């Protein structure tokens, strides 16, 4: 409570202090109040558009608050600022998947597969979504790659 109030006081006194909002967001994350944390991360990102972690955490808080459509914009910004970030691409893929943008989700999972070429989970995600979107050939290709990476996974057969 003391840290929360201190940060609120700082944010009130210095309206340009993005860090106060960022750390308030972290406190609200710990309290699992994702609506409040999303609001604070959003303020932090607005005050400092170069602070990529604010965008990443803002998008994640929105996902946790079941606001998948709203999560897309900050997560796209996080991906733009952090093109090699596995979490940024993963959260954006989930947001797209949750709102039914399967082609965009597949694109993000394919990017994840390039970033982590030894991780079969990304190929499994691609395969599942390719199948869901009616692209059987794409699903088979992704499953073949997943089997190559993890031939002992019984779920692939």
pLDDT by residue (tens digit) across 46-81?
999 999 999 999 999 999 999 999 999 999 999 999
Q: Please report the pLDDT score of residue 2 as a whole number.
A: 87
Q: Which domain holds residue 44?
A: 1-99
- On whether both 24 and 81 belong to a single domain, the answer is yes
Inform me whether the pLDDT recorded for 1 exceeds 90: no
- pTM here is 0.92
- On whether both 71 and 14 belong to a single domain, the answer is yes
Q: Which secondary-structure segment (H or E) carries 38?
A: helix 34-47
Tell me the mean pLDDT in the region 89-98: 99
Tell me the mean pLDDT in the region 129-140: 97
**Contact indicator for 71, 91 with CB cutoff of 8 Å:** yes
- On whether both 95 and 137 belong to a single domain, the answer is no
């Amino acid at each position: 409570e003391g840290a929360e109030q201190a940060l609120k006081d700082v944010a009130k006194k210095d309206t340009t202090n993005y860090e106060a909002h960022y750390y308030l967001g972290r406190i609200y994350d710990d309290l699992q109040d994702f609506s409040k944390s999303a609001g604070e991360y959003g303020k932090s990102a607005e005050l400092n558009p170069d602070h990529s972690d604010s965008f990443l955490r803002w998008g994640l808080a929105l996902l946790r608050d079941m606001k998948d459509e709203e999560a897309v914009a900050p997560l796209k910004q996080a991906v733009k600022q952090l093109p090699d970030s596995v979490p940024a691409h993963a959260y954006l893929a989930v947001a797209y998947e949750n709102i039914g943008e399967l082609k965009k989700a597949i694109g993000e999972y394919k990017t994840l597969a390039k970033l982590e070429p030894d991780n079969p989970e990304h190929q499994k995600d691609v395969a599942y979504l390719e199948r869901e979107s009616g692209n059987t050939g794409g699903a088979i290709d992704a499953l073949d790659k997943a089997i190559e990476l993890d031939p002992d996974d019984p779920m692939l057969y």
